[in-house]
Amino acid sequence: MNWQFPVTRTTHPKPRPEDETKLGFARYFTDHMFVIDYDEGQGWHDGRVVPHEPILIEPASCVLHYAQMMFEGMKAYRTPTGEIQLFRPEENAKRMNRTNERMCIPEVPEGLLIAGVRAVIEQDIDWMPSAPGTAMYIRPFIFGDEVSFSVLPAKHYRFMIILSPTGSYYAANDGGLSTTRIYVQDEYIRAARGGTGFAKCGGNYGGGMRASKDAMKYNCKDVLWLDAAENKYVEEIGTSNAFFRIADEVITAPLDSGTILPGITRNSVIQLLKKWGVKVTERKLSIDEIIEASKNGTLQEIFASGTAAVISPIGCLCVEGTDVPVADGKVGPVAQKLYDTLYGMQTGTVKDDMGWVYPLGLKA
Ligand SMILES: Cc1ncc(COP(=O)(O)O)c(C=O)c1O
DSSP 8-42: ---SSPPPPPS-GGG-TTTS---SEEEEEEEETTT
130 and 104 housed in the same domain: yes
pLDDT at position 172 is 78
Count CB-CB contacts under 10 A for residue 214: 15
313 and 238 housed in the same domain: yes
264 pocket-lining for ligand 1 (C-beta < 6 Å): yes
73 pocket-lining for ligand 1 (C-beta < 6 Å): yes
pLDDT at position 231 is 96
Residue 247 falls within a domain, yes or no? Answer: yes
pLDDT at position 63 is 97
250 and 308 housed in the same domain: yes
239-254 pLDDT, tens digit per residue, is 999 999 999 999 999 9
The H or E element that residue 338 is part of is helix 333-346
Q: In ligand 1, which atom is closest to the CA atom of 190?
A: 1
261-297 pLDDT, tens digit per residue, is 999 999 999 999 999 999 999 999 999 999 999 999 9
Residue 353 falls within a domain, yes or no? Answer: no
Low-confidence ranges of the chain (pLDDT < 70): none
306 pocket-lining for ligand 1 (C-beta < 6 Å): yes
Structural domain that includes position 271? 180-346
- Rounded Cα distance, 243 and 303, in Å: 5
105 pocket-lining for ligand 1 (C-beta < 6 Å): no
Burial classification of residue 44, based on how many CB atoms lie within 10 Å of its CB (0-12 exposed, 13-18 middle, 19 or more buried): middle
Number of domains in the chain: 2
**Residue with CA closest to ligand 1 atom 16:** 239
307 pocket-lining for ligand 1 (C-beta < 6 Å): yes
Tell me how far the alpha carbon of residue 40 lies from the centroid of ligand 1, in angstroms: 31
Burial classification of residue 67, based on how many CB atoms lie within 10 Å of its CB (0-12 exposed, 13-18 middle, 19 or more buried): middle
265 pocket-lining for ligand 1 (C-beta < 6 Å): yes
Residue 359 falls within a domain, yes or no? Answer: no
Q: Is the pTM of this model over 0.95?
A: yes
- Rounded Cα distance, 222 and 236, in Å: 10
